[in-house]
């Protein structure tokens, strides 16, 4: 009984204790889950804030990197700009220094030296005629049936100051040393004027200014040789060139006038007492396209042909030039055509003599090294228009470089001229001639045209 009472007494107490313990355990379990959930939530919030901070820091770093690159570029650009300004200032200082040095007379020896060149013009020639007038070198012939050094030319060219330029050309042959040209030019004077004084070839027609080594064929056309000899039209004197307003739709117009002591006893007396030669030339230039141009020249010269009678000669010329040079291909293709018509009016004691002549010449550049050329010409003698001659020329040029070229030329001359050495029985013979010409140049003065 007592046992039952104890059981019934302590059993409820024990059950209530177990209930209280279970309840406490349940509450503790629930509190731990809430804490874990809360911690997890806070961790997520921290991670989100961390990600935002990382993104913000990345943006700041990128912006900083961009700013640094921009500043580096600006610094590099400023450095280059400073260097360019320094170079410009240096060039300006050098120009000022050069000007000061020139005006003070303290130029170095190297600065005083002119450009010096040496050119050689050698040829071998064969003619089917052995006549002395045709084969012996002289005023009318360079020589045939042998080898000859036509000329060794020494050239000295230099600017004298910003307004003047000097040029001198010495001609050296086997038997003689002479001054071919020696003159000074005043350039770009007011009113578009250039002046020249010294000994020079005058501006007359397309070829008169050419030196022998620069001619399109080996020799000068007979129409010019019979009027001025192989020496050309030139002498001691003064010349002026005027750039005029454009006339007759030209792209450029100029006028040249020369007064010289000249003559070679062909058309004009060479004696200084015979007086001056007066020469003028009017020139119009036209650009036909990017690749070609056309030019015409009207020239005239007058002077005394006989010192004792004071008779005068008047010679006029119409020169035509056409040149085609394709842009970008000028190294390989060029076509150059020159034609000149001359007319001579000569006063004689018995009256006057009118004579005429012409030549037409071409050069065709086939490639970088090879040229093909030809010429036809007719000429009446200035003192006897019943005597005349024709010349037909064909040549082939090989340019080894701009300093060396070799020319092969064939020429046929048909003559109706009296042989003055064996008058009255003889006439000058017709002849075929073959020429091999070799030209070379040492220095800056090459075989350019004028």
pLDDT in tens, the chain (450 residues): 444 454 455 555 655 555 555 555 555 555 777 788 888 888 888 888 888 888 888 888 888 888 888 778 788 878 888 877 877 766 655 554 545 444 444 445 566 788 999 999 999 999 999 888 888 888 788 999 999 999 999 999 999 998 999 999 999 998 889 999 999 999 989 989 999 999 999 999 999 999 999 999 999 999 999 999 998 999 999 999 999 999 999 999 999 999 999 888 899 998 888 889 999 999 999 999 999 999 999 999 999 998 888 899 999 999 999 999 999 999 999 999 999 999 999 999 889 999 999 999 999 999 999 999 999 999 999 999 999 999 999 999 999 998 999 999 999 999 999 876 554 557 899 999 999 999 999 988 765 555
Give the span between the Cα atoms of 433 and 215, in whole angstroms: 18
Query: Which pair of tokens denotes residue 170?
Result: 């010495």
Domain ranges, residue 15: 1-113
Residue 54 domain-assigned?
yes
Residue 173 domain-assigned?
yes
Residue 236 domain-assigned?
yes
Looking at the structure, tell me whether residues 128 and 237 fall in a common domain. yes
Looking at the structure, tell me whether residues 226 and 333 fall in a common domain. yes
Last residue of a domain, one of 113, 136, 167: 113
* Three-state secondary-structure class, residue 162: coil
Looking at the structure, tell me whether residues 13 and 108 fall in a common domain. yes
Which pLDDT value is given to residue 105?
45
Query: Which pair of tokens denotes residue 412?
Result: 């046929």
Sign of the Cα torsion 180, 183, 189, 191 reads negative
Last residue of a domain, one of 70, 98, 113: 113
Looking at the structure, tell me whether residues 219 and 303 fall in a common domain. yes
Looking at the structure, tell me whether residues 182 and 69 fall in a common domain. no
Looking at the structure, tell me whether residues 192 and 208 fall in a common domain. yes
Last residue of a domain, one of 51, 81, 113: 113
Looking at the structure, tell me whether residues 87 and 206 fall in a common domain. no
The burial class, CB within 10 Å (0-12 / 13-18 / 19+), for 2 is exposed
Looking at the structure, tell me whether residues 212 and 177 fall in a common domain. yes
Residue given tokens 């036909």 in the structure block: 288
Cα–Cα separations (whole angstroms), residue 97 to 49, 85, 106, 435:
70, 18, 11, 54
Looking at the structure, tell me whether residues 85 and 195 fall in a common domain. no
Give the span between the Cα atoms of 424 and 7, in whole angstroms: 187
Looking at the structure, tell me whether residues 37 and 133 fall in a common domain. no
Residue 448 domain-assigned?
no
Looking at the structure, tell me whether residues 109 and 125 fall in a common domain. no
Contact 148, 139 (CB under 8 A): no
pTM exceeds cut of 0.85: no
Which pLDDT value is given to residue 100?
47
Which pLDDT value is given to residue 2?
44
The phi, psi pair for 412, rounded to 5°, reads -120, 125
Sign of the Cα torsion 98, 100, 103, 108 reads negative
Give the span between the Cα atoms of 438 and 440, in whole angstroms: 7
Which pLDDT value is given to residue 27?
55
Residue 183 domain-assigned?
yes
Q: What is the DSSP string of 366-426?
A: -SSSEEEEEEEEEEEETTEEEEEEEEEEEEEEEEEETTEEEEEEEEEEEEE-B-GGGTTT-
Residue 447 domain-assigned?
no
Residue 450 domain-assigned?
no
Domain count, the chain: 2
Looking at the structure, tell me whether residues 221 and 348 fall in a common domain. yes
CATH number at residue 194: 2.40.160.10
Residue 220 domain-assigned?
yes
């Amino acid at each position: 009984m007592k046992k039952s009472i104890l059981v019934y007494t302590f059993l409820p107490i024990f059950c209530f204790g177990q209930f209280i313990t279970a309840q406490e355990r349940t509450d503790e379990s629930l509190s731990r889950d809430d804490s874990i959930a809360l911690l997890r939530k806070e961790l997520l919030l921290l991670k989100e804030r961390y990600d935002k901070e990382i993104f913000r820091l990345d943006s700041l770093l990128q912006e900083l990197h961009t700013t640094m690159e921009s500043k580096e570029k600006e610094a590099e650009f400023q450095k280059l700009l400073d260097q360019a300004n320094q170079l410009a200032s240096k060039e300006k200082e050098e120009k000022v220094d050069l000007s000061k040095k020139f005006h003070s007379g303290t130029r170095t020896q190297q600065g005083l030296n002119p450009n010096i060149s040496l050119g050689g013009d050698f040829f071998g020639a064969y003619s089917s005629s052995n006549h002395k007038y045709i084969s012996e070198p002289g005023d009318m012939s360079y020589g045939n049936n042998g080898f000859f050094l036509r000329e060794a030319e020494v050239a000295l060219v230099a600017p004298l100051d910003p307004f003047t330029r000097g040029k001198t050309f010495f001609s050296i042959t086997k038997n003689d040393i002479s001054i071919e040209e020696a003159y000074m030019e005043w350039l770009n004077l007011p009113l578009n004027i250039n002046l020249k004084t010294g000994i020079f070839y005058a501006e007359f027609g397309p070829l008169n200014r050419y030196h022998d080594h620069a001619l399109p064929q080996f020799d000068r056309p007979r129409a010019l040789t019979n009027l001025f000899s192989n020496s050309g039209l030139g002498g001691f004197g003064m010349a002026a060139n005027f750039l005029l307003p454009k006339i007759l739709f030209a792209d450029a117009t100029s006028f040249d006038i020369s007064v010289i002591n000249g003559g070679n006893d062909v058309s004009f007396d060479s004696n200084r007492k015979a007086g001056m030669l007066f020469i003028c030339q009017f020139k119009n230039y036209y650009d036909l396209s990017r690749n070609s141009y056309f030019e015409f020249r009207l020239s005239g010269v007058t002077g005394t042909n006989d010192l004792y009678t004071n008779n005068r000669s008047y010679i006029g010329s119409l020169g035509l030039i056409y040149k085609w040079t394709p842009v970008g291909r000028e190294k390989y293709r060029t076509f150059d055509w020159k034609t000149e018509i001359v007319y001579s009016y000569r006063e004689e004691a018995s009256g006057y003599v009118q004579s005429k002549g012409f030549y037409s010449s071409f050069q065709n550049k086939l490639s970088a090294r090879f040229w093909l050329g030809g010429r036809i010409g007719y000429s009446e003698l200035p003192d006897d228009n019943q005597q005349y001659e024709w010349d037909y020329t064909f040549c082939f040029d090989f340019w080894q470089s701009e300093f060396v070229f070799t020319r092969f030329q064939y020429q046929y001359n048909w003559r109706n001229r009296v042989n003055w050495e064996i008058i009255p029985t003889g006439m000058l013979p017709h002849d075929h001639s073959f020429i091999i010409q070799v030209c070379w140049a040492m220095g800056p003065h090459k075989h350019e045209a004028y």
